[in-house]
């Protein structure tokens, strides 16, 4: 099985989420189930069924995180001035004339809404190994290309 690549921050976030699941969220749902059981007839007890469903989802998430942590390889950045896994950077979308900032991460921790872009995505692949000042062409998945300029590699 191929190792899951995580940044130091990504591993820490997974460990924190697992701790939250195991110490807070799952025990709270177990308590809701216990309370709902005490109300008697479970066949029509919506609170009981809702809590059981939530427990299943939380347990599944915890097991997925445990598997990722067990099979991860933490990637530490070298002192290169090139974009690599873990790099935070600012870039200019030349077509839109807009500046953006994000971090290049492994697929397991990618979340565009949090500014984390997978190194395996079209943008990640185009930027990997490039330096500040470089202009790269990104092949968009739905067709069409666009150009971006790396303004700064922050870390």
Where exactly are the structural domains of the chain?
Answer: 4-75, 88-153
Model's pTM, two decimal places? 0.71
At 52, list the tokens.
């059981």
At 49, list the tokens.
């069924």
Tens digits of residue pLDDT in 102-121: 999 988 888 889 989 998 88
Residue among 85, 145, 92, 89 nearest 118 (CA): 85
Cα–Cα distance, 101 to 151 (Å, whole number): 10
Architecture of domain 4-75: Orthogonal Bundle (1.10)
The pLDDT value given to residue 47: 83
Q: Which CATH number fits domain 88-153: 3.40.50.300, 2.30.110.10, 3.10.50.30, 3.20.20.30?
A: 3.10.50.30
The pLDDT value given to residue 143: 77
From first to last of the 155 residues of the chain, give the pLDDT tens digit: 678 888 888 899 999 999 999 999 999 999 988 888 887 766 677 888 888 999 999 999 999 999 999 998 888 777 778 898 888 999 998 888 889 899 999 888 888 899 899 988 888 999 989 999 999 988 887 878 888 999 998 86
Q: Reduced to 3 states, what is the DSSP secondary structure of residue 1?
A: coil
Cα–Cα distance, 113 to 131 (Å, whole number): 24
């Amino acid at each position: 099985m191929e190792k899951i690549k995580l940044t130091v921050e990504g591993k820490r976030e997974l460990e924190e989420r697992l701790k939250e699941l195991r110490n807070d969220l799952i025990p709270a749902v177990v308590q809701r189930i216990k309370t709902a059981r005490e109300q008697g007839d479970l066949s029509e007890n919506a609170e009981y069924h809702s809590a059981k469903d939530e427990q299943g989802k939380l347990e599944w998430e915890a097991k997925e995180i445990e598997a990722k942590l067990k099979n991860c390889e933490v990637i530490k950045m070298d002192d290169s001035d090139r974009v690599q896994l873990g790099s935070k950077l600012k870039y200019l979308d030349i077509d839109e004339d807009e500046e953006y900032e994000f971090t290049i991460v492994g697929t397991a921790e990618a979340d565009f809404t949090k500014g984390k872009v997978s190194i395996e995505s079209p943008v990640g692949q185009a930027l990997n190994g490039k330096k500040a000042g470089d202009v790269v062409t990104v092949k968009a998945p739905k067709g069409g290309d666009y150009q971006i300029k790396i303004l700064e590699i922050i870390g």
